[in-house]
Amino acid sequence: MVTPGRRRVTISDVASHAQVSVTAVSKVIRNAYGVSPAMKDRVKAAIDELGYRPQAVARGMRGRTFTIGLVLPHIRNPFFADILDGLTAYLETTDYQAFMIQGGATRKVEQRAVDALVDRQVDGIIMVAPLASRARLEEVAKEKPLVVLARHERSPHYDSVFDDDEAGAELVVEHLIELGHRRIAHITHQDDSIARPGDLLHNIRSATYERVMGEHGLADEIAVATSFYSEKGGYDGARQLLDRTPRPTAIFAGADQAALGALAALHEACLSVPADVSVAGYDNTHLAALPNIALTSVDQDGGEMGRAAGKLLLERVEGRMTPVRFSVTPSLVVRGSTAAPPA
Amino acid sequence: MVTPGRRRVTISDVASHAQVSVTAVSKVIRNAYGVSPAMKDRVKAAIDELGYRPQAVARGMRGRTFTIGLVLPHIRNPFFADILDGLTAYLETTDYQAFMIQGGATRKVEQRAVDALVDRQVDGIIMVAPLASRARLEEVAKEKPLVVLARHERSPHYDSVFDDDEAGAELVVEHLIELGHRRIAHITHQDDSIARPGDLLHNIRSATYERVMGEHGLADEIAVATSFYSEKGGYDGARQLLDRTPRPTAIFAGADQAALGALAALHEACLSVPADVSVAGYDNTHLAALPNIALTSVDQDGGEMGRAAGKLLLERVEGRMTPVRFSVTPSLVVRGSTAAPPA
DNA sequence: TTGAAAGCGCTAACAA
DNA sequence: TTGTTAGCGCTTTCAA
């Protein structure tokens, strides 16, 4: 039970060292009104001399902890790293710190992660692609300022930051059709979410795929493998699709991670990309840009999304109650993995 | 169950609902001695009825926050995800929660991350491959229980969990030599750390590379590109190495991430792997196993390391003061990216 | 076995 | 402008 170490410098150490009241020190560290320049200098000097840093947890007992929680499904998708970097960069200009926690693959684990954050008194929460139902998210928003990334529903109580997944998926499918493909297959993601399908990005991407196929008279060619947005998921999904006769000439994987798995499956099946089969992904992760992968993909600015999420969340922490929706417009980055279908 | 009236349920709500003292409730939630079974049941019933969850932050004011901080350099390396998963799995059997924070690429950012954790009263800290000097880590260990991953020094005040990087690097270089390679090059990592070279894994890997080369009479063939353990770093490093005449016939990248970049550079230079150049990595991330990458790599059990780190840290939180070192033995996973050199 | 009461380090009413 | 004084929600003596 022994905690190693000396006693930490507290606000009253600073107060007595500067020969002022504890309140005065508190005001200075909060930049509150009602402190003379002289007192401010004096307190600041004492703070520096003693190396004082306020204990966020104690501050939280009355006010804020200056901590925000970021719930990511997992940390295996490099796209999430982009979001985190954007968020971190934004928070650097503030007094807030972000802590990350894995939301996992099930609603139960995700809920536990959120509870852990709430129990630790974070000032606000950012959830990336949550599985929770709308109702659950509203509950969370009742407890803490909340910003949700990568979901499409409109909520009165939390902010949304998302990519226009419909536009993005359209870009991919139209691109493949323009190249002359007809047998275009899709790999989508499955989860245990009970959210409405239209709220979840993978459902939007797959529904858009089906819509655009239909609009081009290709309804009969629709082929969807329901798997996971992961390397293994993409691999499994692609194998499933390649078993079809006739074989698809193009695969649109709903995420780069899955596209990587699809590329692996094609390689294993001795099919060359793009000569035999074209492949496209979504997210434009940095792996897509590697010359030996050269994956055509949809770019959505993750850094920008992270930054926006941070900004919106702090606005909420400061008291904004009206919901804001921030949407990023995707663009298609064409690389070597897509070309005209074999003759 | 959400409280009507939206104020969070506190320990005294539970106490009055169960008609017992606050102390009694506290004892029950801490599993402390001195509560009759009857009282325990009564309190537990009240807790369930009200949906009470103790506020970790308030507990921390006197005791523990049941929170541990994990400092990762970044979240772009899938190997870190393995560590996190192992840690999370272990903590699931306890009352503790891990929060992740990015340590970044410089000592300054890393220190800020550690301070953020300390200020938020975590019960202990796990640092993965930190840049900090030994002295700095000792300081951290003085403030909080500390476990350091992927560093090799022996400390009296914190625990270490690491892979035997010397053995691992040896496996790779010996493997390449056995295949008949002589011009084996290496890509290593550069950072702003002032830690002793022998404490940092990338220095051990590169020093071992040089030693083994020397032992086989290949000292003249030593070629090291100092870059970064990242895709871009591997790409740049490989390009640098390929400019040499004669060209190396094998590249040992100190990490899979860098190996991926090297593969990309080779592809771009129209060199085939392994026919023209063999490539090996380190970490055996799941990407290495994809058939189209098929990267020979050194496996170190990240999940096991994460689990061990969690266990050791909690032991320290419980009071252990003597240092423990936990070492994982690496093994070589040979795949298609390495073969005999061209004739 | 129980519970009253004193803090933990801060913030925020309210006085001076 | 300053300082005094209650708490925030818990844990921990220490009596009863």
**Domain assignment of residue A335, yes or no:** no
**Domain assignment of residue A342, yes or no:** no
**Domain assignment of residue B1, yes or no:** no
B318 to A260: CB separation less than 8 angstroms, yes or no:
no
Give φ, ψ of B24 to 5 degrees.
Answer: -60, -45
Range of the domain at B223: 165-299
- Name the residue facing B319 among A2, A119, A121 (closest C-beta): A2
Smallest CA–CA distance from B273 into chain A, residue:
A292
Question: How distant is the alpha carbon of residue A286 from its chain centre?
Answer: 16
Answer whether any strand D atom is within 7 A of the Cβ of B22. yes
A57 to B54: CB separation less than 8 angstroms, yes or no:
no
pLDDT at B1: 32
**Residue A33 binned pLDDT confidence (cut-offs 50, 70, 90):** confident
Average pLDDT, chain A: 95
Q: Does B49 touch chain A (CB under 8 A)?
A: no
**Domain assignment of residue A341, yes or no:** no
pLDDT at B34: 83
Are residue A118 and residue A190 in the same domain, yes or no?
Answer: no
A76 to B76: CB separation less than 8 angstroms, yes or no:
no
Sign of CA dihedral B140, B142, B146, B148: positive
Are residue A134 and residue A186 in the same domain, yes or no?
Answer: no
Which is nearest to B160 in space by CA: B127, B192, B136? B127
pLDDT at A2: 33
For residue A124, the cross-strand partners are A68
In angstroms, the first-to-last Cα distance of chain A is: 73
**Domain assignment of residue A59, yes or no:** no
Report the gap between the CA of B95 and the closest CA in chain A (Å). Answer: 10
CA atoms within 13 A on the CB side of A132: 25
- Tens digits of per-residue pLDDT, B130-184? 999 999 999 999 999 999 999 999 999 999 999 999 999 999 999 999 999 999 9
Are residue A196 and residue A287 in the same domain, yes or no?
Answer: yes
Are residue A159 and residue A307 in the same domain, yes or no?
Answer: yes
Q: Which two tokens stand for residue A195?
A: 């959210």
- Is residue A293 helix, strand or coil? coil
CA(A1)–C1'(C9) in Å?
A: 21
- Name the residue facing A121 among B57, B80, B144 (closest C-beta): B57
pLDDT at B3: 33
Are residue B157 and residue B170 in the same domain, yes or no?
Answer: no
Q: Which two tokens stand for residue A232?
A: 């293994």
Are residue A45 and residue A74 in the same domain, yes or no?
Answer: no
Q: Please report where in the chains the tokens 């017992």 appear, as a residue.
A: B20
Burial class (CB in 10 A: 0-12, 13-18, 19+), A245: exposed
Are residue B157 and residue B190 in the same domain, yes or no?
Answer: no
| CATH code, A95 | 3.40.50.2300
pLDDT at A62: 86
Are residue B103 and residue B128 in the same domain, yes or no?
Answer: yes
CB A263 within 8 A of CB A257: no
SS (H, E, C) chain B: CCCCCCCCCCHHHHHHHHCCCHHHHHHHHHCCCCCCHHHHHHHHHHHHHHCCCCCHHHHHHHCCCCEEEEEECCCCCHHHHHHHHHHHHHHCCCCCEEEEEECCCCHHHHHHHHHHHHHCCCCEEEEECCCCCHHHHHHHHHHCCEEEECECCCCCCCEEEEECHHHHHHHHHHHHHHCCCCCEEEEEECCCCCCCHHHEHHHHHHHHHHHHHHHCCCHHHCEEEEECCCHHHHHHHHHHHHCCCCCCCEEEECCHHHHHHHHHHHHHCCCCCCCCCEEEEEECCHHHHCCCCCCEEEECCHHHHHHHHHHHHHHHHCCCCCCCEEEECCEEECCCCCCCCCC
- Tens digits of per-residue pLDDT, A122-154? 999 999 999 999 999 999 999 999 999 999 999
Q: Does B88 touch chain A (CB under 8 A)?
A: yes
Domain count, chain A: 3
| CATH code, B41 | 1.10.260.40
CB A123 within 8 A of CB A91: no
pLDDT greater at residue B35 or residue A155: A155
Q: Does A89 touch chain B (CB under 8 A)?
A: no
Q: Please report where in the chains the tokens 């295996």 appear, as a residue.
A: A76
Report the gap between the CA of A331 and the closest CA in chain B (Å). Answer: 23
| Other residues' Cβ atoms within 10 Å of the Cβ of residue B91 | 20
pLDDT at B33: 85
Between CA B257 and CA B52 the distance in angstroms is 45
B144 to A3: CB separation less than 8 angstroms, yes or no:
yes
**Domain assignment of residue A158, yes or no:** yes
Between CA B308 and CA A16 the distance in angstroms is 44
**Residue A3 binned pLDDT confidence (cut-offs 50, 70, 90):** very low
Q: Does A100 touch chain B (CB under 8 A)?
A: yes
* Chain A environment of B319 (Cβ under 8 Å): 1-2
Q: Please report where in the chains the tokens 């320049």 appear, as a residue.
A: A37
Are residue B253 and residue B310 in the same domain, yes or no?
Answer: no
pLDDT at B244: 95
**Residue A338 binned pLDDT confidence (cut-offs 50, 70, 90):** very high
Which residue numbers in chain B have pLDDT < 50?
1-5
Q: What percent of chain A stands above pLDDT 90?
A: 90
Q: What is the pTM of this model?
A: 0.95
pLDDT at B6: 60
pLDDT greater at residue A3 or residue A194: A194
Q: What percent of chain A stands above pLDDT 70?
A: 98
Are residue B85 and residue B123 in the same domain, yes or no?
Answer: yes
- Stretch A18-25: mean pLDDT: 92
SS (H, E, C) A22-81: HHHHHHHHHCCCCCCHHHHHHHHHHHHHHCCCCCHHHHHHHCCCCEEEEEECCCCCHHHH
Are residue B169 and residue B295 in the same domain, yes or no?
Answer: yes
Output DSSP code: residue A340.
P
pLDDT at A119: 95
| Other residues' Cβ atoms within 10 Å of the Cβ of residue B25 | 28
Between CA A110 and CA A190 the distance in angstroms is 16
**Domain assignment of residue A95, yes or no:** yes
Q: Over 60: is that where the pLDDT of A5 sits?
A: no
Q: Does B31 touch chain A (CB under 8 A)?
A: no
- Tens digits of per-residue pLDDT, A235-254? 999 999 999 999 999 999 99
Do the bridges between strand A331-333 and strand A296-299 make them parallel or antiparallel, or are there none, so unpaired?
Answer: antiparallel
Q: Over 70: is that where the pLDDT of A331 sits?
A: yes
Burial letters B124-160, b for 16+ CB under 10 A, else e: bbbbbbbbbbbebbebbbebbbbbbbbbbbebebbbb
B2 to A119: CB separation less than 8 angstroms, yes or no:
no
Are residue B169 and residue B159 in the same domain, yes or no?
Answer: no
**Domain assignment of residue B336, yes or no:** no
- Tens digits of per-residue pLDDT, A79-132? 999 999 999 999 999 999 999 999 999 999 999 999 999 999 999 999 999 999
